[in-house]
Amino acid sequence: MANNALVFISITIVLTLVSFALDRQKTILGLRKGLKMFQNIALPFLNILILVSLTLYLVPPSLIVKYLGVESGYWGLAIAALVGSVTLIPAFISYPIAAVLIKQGASYTTVATFMTTLMMVGIVTFPLEAKYLGKKVAAMRNILNFITAIIIGLVVGAFL
Amino acid sequence: MKEILAKQRRYVWLAVYLIVTIASFAVGFNPGKEVFGNFTKFFIEMISFIPVLFVIVGLFDVWFPKEKVERHIGQDSGIKGIFLVILLAMLQAGPLYGAFPVAYILYKKGASSKNIFIYLGAFSSLKIPMLGFEIGYLGVKFTLARTLVSLPLFIAVGYLMEQYLKGKDFKVNQI
């Protein structure tokens, strides 16, 4: 984590300097935009940190390992895929959750599957999607992406 | 007055949490202390890279405006078309349901069904701001593995959807 942050900060400083050298005004505009976006998410983000901290205290790691760990097998995969499909969690909130799950012993396969179905399969948003694409097409897209998410989880898990 | 109250309501969770935490420390309520320990860890993690991330997102936004890419997307359904829709998707932000209006625009501009579904796939999981979060929380290795495995599969879904829609009257509706 600390290393990631350091790499991030260094890259950002370099990019900002390059950008500043190329175009001062654009850079200032960009920084303002970034600050505004940060302000918008800061509060929901703090709230989610509270929720995650609380959940982490209430749900013991042994439970996470049992249901989502390496040994959980097909059941873990199925739970991750279904929960990801049904819930509607903003992506930026899903990352801290995923990081905690991994730290507590969930496998990369289940976490990658969970995140992918979360992002690509939307049961709650299906009615909305069907309005744009038509029911059949929307259903087909969700089914294909559901299968894809499981493949992604399995392959990512095999790599890491 | 009502407006002020509505604005303040956003802080309710934070306020309740702070009060409970202070009370926990005052009376020595251990669960409260432990939850606060977790919270502090997450908070330090967040504050160490999220502001930085938004600097990148902001700079990205001014240097690569998505409107510019949108203009170049049309009937081209070769490799270049695929590349452009993926690039367009990567420049955006927001949840998947925010992508459908853009899918409509792509459809109006004559993009192939294949490219529309590749766009939706890339939108859902290759957005640059989100990749930043992912790297920060789950590491470069995980992000890279997930991205590289996902990409060919999205493109495959695009081709499969095109096959499925062959001979059908596919259209994206505006709502």
Contact (Cβ atoms closer than 8 angstroms) between residue A116 and residue B142: no
Please report the DSSP string for chain A in residue order.
Answer: -HHHHHHHHHHHHHHHHHHHHH-HHHHHHHHHHHHHHHHHHHHHHHHHHHHHHHHHHHS-HHHHHHHHSGGGHHHHHHHHHHHHHH----HHHHHHHHHHHHHTT--HHHHHHHHHHHHH--STTHHHHHHHH-HHHHHHHHHHHHHHHHHHHHHHHHH-
Residues A93 and A20 in one domain: no
Residues A12 and A45 in one domain: yes
Could you say which of B14, B97, B100 has the minimum Cβ distance to residue A47?
A: B14
Say what the pTM is: 0.79
- Poorest-confidence range of A88-92, A104-108, B42-46, B146-150? A88-92
Here the ipTM equals: 0.79
Residues A82 and A103 in one domain: yes
Q: Is the pLDDT of residue B146 over 90?
A: yes
Residue type, B107: Y
Q: Is the pLDDT of residue B157 over 90?
A: yes
CB atoms closer than 10 angstroms to residue A124: 11
Average pLDDT over residues A118-132: 89
Q: Is the pLDDT of residue A88 over 80?
A: no
Residues A157 and A89 in one domain: yes
| pLDDT value for B92 | 77
CB pair distance less than 8 Å for B56 and A12: yes
Q: Give A64→chain B minimum CA distance, Å.
A: 17
Could you say which of A122, A125, A131 has the minimum Cβ distance to residue B175?
A: A131
Residues A46 and A123 in one domain: no
Residues A107 and A138 in one domain: yes
CB pair distance less than 8 Å for B31 and A57: yes
Give CA angle at A65 (A63, A69), nearest 5°: 140
What one-character DSSP code corresponds to residue B174? P
| pLDDT value for A22 | 94
Residues A54 and A71 in one domain: no
| pLDDT value for A128 | 87
Give the span between the Cα atoms of A9 and A89, in whole angstroms. Answer: 27
First to last CA, chain B: 36
Residues A66 and A52 in one domain: no
Domain count, chain A: 2
pLDDT band at residue B22 using 50, 70 and 90 as cut-offs: very high
Q: Is the pLDDT of residue A71 over 90?
A: no
| pLDDT value for A44 | 76
Which range of residues forms the domain containing residue A134?
62-160
Average pLDDT over residues B47-59: 80
Helix (H, G, I), strand (E, B) or coil at B1: coil
| pLDDT value for A2 | 54
| pLDDT value for A29 | 93
**And the tokens for B76?**
């081209």
- Percentage with pLDDT > 70 across chain B: 91
Residues A150 and A82 in one domain: yes
| pLDDT value for B45 | 75
pLDDT in tens, A7-66: 778 888 998 999 999 999 999 999 998 898 888 878 877 887 888 888 878 887 788 888
Contact (Cβ atoms closer than 8 angstroms) between residue A42 and residue B82: no
Give the span between the Cα atoms of B136 and B142, in whole angstroms. Answer: 11
| pLDDT value for B109 | 83
Give CA angle at A109 (B52, A85), nearest 5°: 80
Entry field: residues in chain A: 160
Mean pLDDT of chain B: 85
From residue B131, how far is each of A95, B140, B146 by CA, in Å? 10, 9, 10
| pLDDT value for B9 | 76
| pLDDT value for A4 | 63
| pLDDT value for A80 | 92
Q: Is the pLDDT of residue B53 over 90?
A: no
Entry field: residues in chain B: 175
| pLDDT value for B75 | 62
Q: Is the pLDDT of residue A145 over 90?
A: yes
Give the span between the Cα atoms of A115 and A95, in whole angstroms. Answer: 8
Residues of B in Cβ contact (< 8 Å) with A19: 59, 63
CB pair distance less than 8 Å for B173 and A155: no
Q: Is the pLDDT of residue B46 over 60?
A: yes
The residue written with tokens 């829609």 in the block is B165
| pLDDT value for A155 | 95
Exposure on the CB side of residue B74, measured as CA atoms within 13 A: 3
Mean pLDDT of chain A: 87
- Poorest-confidence range of A62-71, B2-11, B22-31, B120-129? B2-11
Q: Is the pLDDT of residue B95 over 70?
A: yes
Residues A122 and A146 in one domain: yes
pLDDT band at residue B167 using 50, 70 and 90 as cut-offs: confident
Which residues 57-116 of A have a C-beta within 8 angstroms of B? Answer: 57, 88, 90-92, 95-96, 98-99, 102, 108, 111-112, 115-116
Residues A79 and A115 in one domain: yes
Residues A142 and A108 in one domain: yes
